[in-house]
A and B are shown apart, each in its own frame.
Chain A
Amino acid sequence: MSETQLPPPRRRINLNWLGLVPFALFVGLFLIAPTMKIVIGAFQRADGSFTFENIAGLFTPSIIASYWISIKISVASSAIGCLVGFLMAAAMVLGGLPNTIRSPLMTFSGVASNFAGVPLAFAFLATLGPLGLVTMFLKTQFGINLRAMGFNILSFWGLTITYLFFQIPLMILIITPALDGLKREWREAASCLGATGTQYWRMVALPILFPTILGTFALLFANAFGAVATAIALTGSSLNIVPIMLFAQIRGDVLGNPHLGYAMAFGMILVTGIANVIYIWLRMRSERWLK
Chain B
Amino acid sequence: MKKAAAWAILFLGITYFVLPLIGMVEFSLSMRRGVYSFDAYAKVLADPQFRQTFSYSVFMALLTIVFGMFLVVPTAFWVRLKMPRMRPVVEFVTLLPLVIPAIVVVFGYIRLFNTSSWLPLTGTTFGTNMLLMFGYATLSLPYMYRAVDTGLRTIDVATLTEAAQSLGAGWFTVLARVILPNVLVAVLSGAFVTFAIVMGEFTMAALLNRPAFGPYLQLMGANKAYEPFALATIAFVITWACMGLIQLVTRFSKHTKAAR
Q: How far is the CA of A134 from the CA of B19 in the complex (A)?
A: 8
B236 within 8 A of A: yes
Chain B residues whose C-beta falls within 8 Å of the C-beta of A121 in the assembled complex: 221
Q: How far is the CA of A128 from the CA of B78 in the complex (A)?
A: 50
Minimum CB distance partner of B10 in chain A: A91
A222 within 8 A of B: yes
Per a CB cutoff under 8 Å, which of A17, A247, A272 touches B99? A272
B197 within 8 A of A: yes
- CB of B222 within 8 A of CB of A236, answer yes
- CB of B202 within 8 A of CB of A229, answer yes
- CB of B86 within 8 A of CB of A31, answer no
- CB of B79 within 8 A of CB of A116, answer no
Per a CB cutoff under 8 Å, which of B6, B97, B229 touches A95? B6
- CB of B231 within 8 A of CB of A247, answer no
B204-231: which residues lie under 8 A (CB-CB) from chain A?
206-207, 214, 217-218, 221-222, 228-229, 231
Interface string of A220-236 (1 = CB under 8 A from B): 00110110110011001
Q: How far is the CB of B238 from chain A (nearest CB, A)?
A: 9
Chain B residues whose C-beta falls within 8 Å of the C-beta of A92 in the assembled complex: 6, 10
Q: Which residues of B contact A (CB under 8 A)?
A: 2-3, 5-7, 9-10, 13, 16-17, 19-24, 26-28, 71, 74-75, 78-79, 82-83, 86, 90, 93, 96-112, 134-135, 137-138, 141, 162, 193, 196-197, 200-203, 206-207, 214, 217-218, 221-222, 228-229, 231-232, 235-236, 239-240, 242-244, 246-247
Chain B at the A interface: SS class:
helix
**A-B contacts, CB under 8 A, total:** 249
- CB of A107 within 8 A of CB of B247, answer yes
- CB of A96 within 8 A of CB of B2, answer yes
- CB of A246 within 8 A of CB of B103, answer yes
- CB of A127 within 8 A of CB of B23, answer yes
Residue among A90, A126, A133 facing the most chain B CB atoms (10 A cut-off): A126
Q: How far is the CB of A49 from chain B (nearest CB, A)?
A: 17
Q: How far is the CA of A125 from the CA of B27 in the complex (A)?
A: 10
Chain B residues whose C-beta falls within 8 Å of the C-beta of A36 in the assembled complex: 108
- CB of B134 within 8 A of CB of A30, answer yes
Please give 17 more A-B residue pairs, beta carbons under 8 A apart, in addition to A30-B109, A226-B101: A19-B74, A19-B78, A20-B79, A30-B138, A34-B104, A37-B112, A38-B108, A90-B6, A111-B243, A114-B243, A119-B217, A122-B217, A133-B22, A229-B214, A246-B103, A250-B103, A272-B99
Minimum CB distance partner of A97 in chain B: B6
Minimum CB distance partner of B241 in chain A: A111
A120-136: which residues lie under 8 A (CB-CB) from chain B?
120-128, 132-134
- CB of B93 within 8 A of CB of A123, answer no
Chain A residues whose C-beta falls within 8 Å of the C-beta of B229 in the assembled complex: 122, 126
Q: How far is the CA of A97 from the CA of B9 in the complex (A)?
A: 12
Q: How far is the CB of B9 from chain A (nearest CB, A)?
A: 4
Q: How far is the CA of A107 from the CA of B110 in the complex (A)?
A: 37
Q: How far is the CB of B180 from chain A (nearest CB, A)?
A: 16
A268 within 8 A of B: yes
A117 within 8 A of B: yes
Whether A265 touches B107, Cβ cut-off 8 Å, given contacts A30-B134, A84-B13, is: yes
